[in-house]
């Protein structure tokens, strides 16, 4: 993108969206980046932003920002060895007990000390506490290898998308309609809050408010990276719409006149939560870039409008179809709860694509992410080369 105004030092941001098990795709893209990096220790992303499962990947990279390629390789190893039981209870006793709590508290009105949800994600807390060294963030910021890392969560009381960030003291908080930026020292609770999909996982209390998945009210997913100082961004999505969208494509004809299953409805709701806002924000940013190119330099400077270079990498294949191929990997204790709503059938596999944390599926997404990134290796190599020590 050409800009003839004053030269602005490039500050590259990495944006990792949410999507449960779909975030394995991001790890494949990061594995390709590890191969393309000319300097193994250099972090090419001074600003790292993540939401939901993307927040876990983002903080994992930030914790190892002093040895960036090693951080990517560690993250890849963890995802390749994933089982559903590492994220939420998938054994018979754990599943039945949690289902009983959910029905008792939410449908029968029984009281309880903690908020109930359909799934118990206590194993995720144990995994994050074991695998992440949060002191690495402060060390990377101190040595100027990292400008800021941020995760977004949704406040159930305030109704705001709150971006918790840790970074340099020069980064100011921001206050916009329904979205704010709050400086803090990140810990496991922020990640658990950002990844707590409503109804599926319990809300998490941070300070004085309960929080859930940040994608719920995140109307502008790219905005936190820009607030943190990025002027160019790499967006790794978990939907093929960003790559395969065609405005001239014909509208698909319905293949069935049957009413939608509960899993189909849930899949569309999850897609709306995790995918639609990112796609809309990218379209908005592209329109702003077009407007900024049409304005003269003095008008750009007066209005504070400047182009933001965007490189997007997203799946070249539908992830729900890949999930359908690996549905037999779903733990047996979960199958009765997902069979009835239709999640184990092809029409409802979108829900499965978010919940199937099993090696076959996760490794398939990692391989797809690696291949898709390598298909853009020239553009990706140029993008990474712009941010050098």
Cα–Cα distance, 315 to 313 (Å, whole number): 7
CA 57 from centre of chain:
8
Biggest CA pair distance of the chain: 67
17, 196, 213, 372: the catalytic one is 213
Under 8 Å CB-to-CB from 329, ≥6 apart: which residues? Answer: 356, 358, 359, 360, 361
52, 196, 239, 277: the catalytic one is 52
Under 8 Å CB-to-CB from 277, ≥6 apart: which residues? Answer: 215, 218, 219, 220, 221
| Residues 184/190, Cβ–Cβ less than 8 Å | yes
Could you confirm whether 52 is annotated as catalytic?
A: yes
Cα–Cα distance, 53 to 57 (Å, whole number): 7
Please state whether beta strands 47-51 and 12-16 pair in parallel, antiparallel, or not at all (unpaired).
Answer: parallel
Which of 286, 251, 268, 288 is CA-nearest to residue 349?
A: 268
DSSP designation for 83? -
Could you confirm whether 281 is annotated as catalytic?
A: no
Per-state percent for the chain, helix, strand, coil, to nearest 5: 50, 15, 40
Angle at 192 between CA 50 and CA 179, to 5 degrees: 50
Q: Please list the active-site residues.
A: 52, 213
């Amino acid at each position: 993108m050409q800009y003839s105004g004053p030269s602005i030092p490039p500050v590259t941001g990495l944006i990792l969206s949410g999507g449960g098990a779909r975030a394995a795709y991001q790890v494949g893209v990061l594995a390709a980046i590890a191969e393309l990096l000319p300097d193994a220790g250099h972090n090419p992303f001074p600003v790292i932003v993540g939401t939901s499962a993307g927040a876990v990947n983002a903080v994992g990279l930030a914790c190892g920002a002093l040895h960036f390629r090693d951080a990517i390789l560690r993250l890849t190893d963890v995802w390749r060895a994933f089982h559903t039981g590492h994220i939420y209870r998938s054994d018979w006793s754990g599943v039945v007990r949690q289902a009983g709590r959910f029905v008792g508290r939410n449908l029968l009105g029984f009281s309880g000390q903690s908020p109930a949800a359909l799934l118990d994600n206590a194993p995720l807390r144990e995994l994050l506490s074991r695998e992440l060294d949060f002191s690495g963030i402060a060390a990377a910021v101190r040595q100027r290898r990292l400008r800021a890392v941020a995760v977004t969560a949704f406040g159930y009381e305030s109704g705001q998308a709150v971006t918790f960030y840790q970074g340099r003291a020069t980064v100011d908080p921001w206050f916009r309609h329904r979205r704010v930026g709050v400086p803090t020292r990140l810990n496991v609770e922020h990640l658990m809050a950002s990844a707590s999909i409503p109804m599926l996982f319990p809300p998490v209390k941070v300070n004085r408010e309960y929080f859930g998945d940040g994608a719920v009210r995140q109307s502008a997913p790219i905005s936190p990276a820009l607030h943190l100082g990025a002027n160019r961004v790499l967006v790794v999505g978990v939907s093929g719409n960003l790559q395969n969208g065609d405005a001239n494509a014909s509208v698909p004809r319905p293949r069935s006149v049957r009413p939608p299953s509960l899993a189909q409805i849930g899949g569309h709701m999850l897609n709306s939560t995790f995918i639609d806002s990112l796609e809309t924000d990218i379209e908005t940013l592209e329109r702003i870039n077009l407007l900024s190119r049409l304005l003269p330099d003095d008008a750009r400077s007066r209005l504070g409008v400047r182009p933001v270079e965007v490189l997007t990498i997203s799946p070249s294949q539908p992830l729900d179809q890949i999930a359908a191929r690996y549905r037999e990997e779903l733990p047996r204790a979960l199958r009765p709860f997902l069979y009835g709503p239709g999640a184990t059938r092809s029409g409802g596999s979108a829900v499965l694509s978010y919940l199937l944390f099993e090696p076959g599926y996760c490794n398939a997404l990692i391989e797809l992410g690696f291949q898709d990134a390598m298909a853009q290796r020239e553009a990706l190599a140029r993008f990474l080369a712009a941010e050098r020590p």
